[in-house]
Amino acid sequence: MTNKKKKNNSIKATIIFFAACAAVGAIVGFLIGVGEDWFNNHAVTPQNVLESVKSFGFQYTNLIFVSVILCTAVLSLGLYFYVKHHWKNWDGEDEDFYTNKIDTPLSCALSVLGVANIIDIAIVGFFYFCMPESSLDERLKAGIVTDLLYGFAILFHSTAQYVIIRLYKKNNPEKRGNVFSITFEKDWHGSLDELEKIQLYQASYRAYKITQYACLIIMTLSLPLLIFWSEGLVCMLTAALIMLIMTLAFSAQALRQSNKNKK
């Protein structure tokens, strides 16, 4: 890519960023300047919204949970059998074929399982949040189906990850690590080559920046809740804490690497 194209892309990215900031500012300004009367006239309060969400969540969370498990199974197993089918047709030399038909689908399958793990934990927490006030025994009895679904989801995800990693290691015997071991990530990272490590570091930095922007957006959108109803402080503080931890960890690691390179 030439310098001119890079400059044009940089200008476009800057314009898009400021346009997004202006859009968010316009929404917040509308809520602050005009929206207060509308919310008050229609009796829309955080309490009313919360009660509606709790009622819906308690009734339909398990159905949502089953849907998530089925979607995860279809996507991950579909990608797995897709790879197995194309593995038979690979001549062992065509790198483009390997990347497009084997490596990328396997990575996508692992990503699906990783995202599903996070969603499953969130669903369980959401269900208990939506549960009506009662004794601990009654809450545990009401949540037994959700707990069983969560246990099944963990078992399925772990087994699927093991099978997919084993298939990947079949053609990459230098890769180390057992999915069921607590040192899996450390062992796997230690077996990566330099190119794979560079790709991992680049992806990690992009994820760091995206999470930063997400925290800023969450804190900005929490302002109307604080202004109108004195709610949203926990949401804002959580996003600020995540951003603080990321920034401190990133700065400490950068300083560590800088000192390490000087030796």
DSSP string, 89-109: T--S--HHHHIIIIIHHHHHH
Tokens of 172: 């990459």
Residues 181 and 52 in one domain: yes
Range of the domain at 20: 1-44
Tokens of 143: 């949540």
93 and 210: one domain? Answer: no
Q: How many domains does the chain have?
A: 3
> Is the model's pLDDT at 152 over the cut of 60?
yes
102-106, 237-241, 245-249: least confident range: 102-106
Are 13 and 85 part of one and the same domain? no
Contact assessment for residue 246 and residue 213, using Cβ atoms and an 8 Å cutoff: no
* Residues 175 and 252 grouped into a single domain: no
- The pLDDT value recorded for residue 172 is 75
Shared-domain flag, residues 160 and 237: no
> Residue with structure tokens 């950068």?
254
- Say if residue 129's pLDDT is above 60: yes
Asked if residue 63 and residue 23 are part of one domain, the reply reads no
How confident is the model over 44-99, as pLDDT tens digits? Answer: 555 666 677 777 777 888 888 888 889 898 988 888 888 888 877 776 677 777 77
* Backbone φ and ψ of 132, nearest 5°: -60, 155
In Å, how far are 168, 194, 256 from 261, measured between CA atoms?
33, 17, 9
- Examine the domain organization and report whether 89 and 204 are in the same domain: no
The model's confidence at residue 5, banded by pLDDT at 50, 70 and 90, is low
163: left (phi over 0), alpha (psi -120 to 50) or beta: alpha
Do 94 and 70 have their domain in common?
yes
Residues 6+ apart with CB under 8 A from 134: 142
| Averaged pLDDT, 219-235 | 76
Identify whether residues 67 and 149 lie together within a single domain.
yes
Give the end of a domain, one of 186, 210, 236.
186
What average pLDDT does the structure give for the chain? Answer: 78
Residues contacting 97, CB < 8 A, separation 6+? 86, 90, 91
